[in-house]
A = this chain, B = another copy of it.
Amino acid sequence: MNDLLERARQGKARAIARLISLVENDAAAAREVTSGLYKFTGKAYVVGITGPPGCGKSTLVNEMALRLGSSGGSVGIIAIDPSSPFTGGALLGDRVRMADIAARDGIFVRSMASRGNLGGLAEATSTTIKILDAAGFDTILVETVGAGQAEVDIASVAHTVLVVEAPDSGDEVQTFKAGIMEIADIFVVNKADRPAASRTVRALEMMLHTGSPAAGGHHTSQQSDVEEIESTSHMAGSWVIPVLETIARDGKGIDELLLKVAEHKSYLDDSGEWNRREERRSRREIERIMQNQIISRTVQNVLPQKRDRVVTAVANREMDPYAAADELFDLANRYPP
């Protein structure tokens, strides 16, 4: 293992790939890998890209990686496959497209599947980010469907979050998924050559403009000075969330997007927000590990028959779930491992 960690640190692609497979298949490996590599992390810039299926995320990520790569940066891509066996086809298509760029120097592509274990996927993704960080990749692009509590909480692992939408072809423009508006640092309307694109951009700008301060700022390009001064939710020096248009398939708008991403990184550095996000990420990660820990201690320290008896008693209404949790909690901690 130590040899593998050392070779991954030197950026050897095969060692990196083997480490990732280890943490994907064995939850215990995440601890060992993290302990060994964590002190070498903290240099990579992590960008999360999220949005609904069919919005063109993968193509966008490919284009971003190619341009970052050709200007001399090294890029790691983590593409998170949701767990559905039903969408296998579409995602496989994405992966085939991604194979085009995987052969380039300085670009490492890895797709990760949840295999029905969502907690495990969050842990494996977070550890994979650390592996690529320690291996010296400048930028790590993490692509995932959805946001918030869905699959992987992208806002808690990324420094910058891009939310990608395709122009809405239906008659409900306001159907942006709840929870996703709050985590966006940059909005991207991809497939901007479609007729509904400008309507989608306007709808997003309106939502940002009328939304609560919880959004962290809002777009002001069409506001007059008077409106800006009067607006109580606009804070001096805060990030103004932009809405950009791209046609990733034709490579259009990508340079502008990368400029905006670089601008957000400067904002994070200058404002102290980078450190706040690192603290937030650390806090959530510690909590997640502790929550996994209480379950694994229960599995280790309480006999399966006892666990099953308690669950059955709750199912049969002989015991309430809080009393059951208290009992198992104490048993789990009685024999510290």
Interface residue ranges, A against B (CB under 8 Å) = 31, 34-35, 38-39, 41-42, 52-54, 82-87, 89-90, 116, 118, 145-146, 148-151, 166, 169-170, 172, 174-182, 207, 211-212, 214-215, 275, 278-279, 281-283, 285-287, 289-291, 293-295, 298, 310-312, 314-317, 320-326, 328-330, 332-333, 336
- In the complex, the count of this chain's copies comes to 2
In the docked arrangement, what's the CA distance between A150 and B87, Å?
A: 18
Q: How far is the CB of A237 from chain B (nearest CB, A)?
A: 22
Task: Please report whether the interface of chain A is mostly helix, strand, loop or mixed according to DSSP.
Answer: helix
Given contacts A149-B149, A279-B311, A283-B311, is CB(A85)–CB(B38) below 8 Å? no
Contact between A42 and B317 (Cβ–Cβ < 8 Å)? yes
Give me the 4 closest cross-chain CB pairs, A-B, nearest first.
Answer: A82-B178, A84-B178, A289-B325, A38-B320
Contact between B181 and A35 (Cβ–Cβ < 8 Å)? no
Which one, B38, B39, B281, B320, contacts A35 given CB within 8 A?
A: B320
Contact between A83 and B290 (Cβ–Cβ < 8 Å)? no
- Which chain B residues lie closer than 8 Å to A86 at the CB level? 174, 176, 178, 181, 207, 211, 215
In the docked arrangement, what's the CA distance between A146 and B34, Å?
A: 33
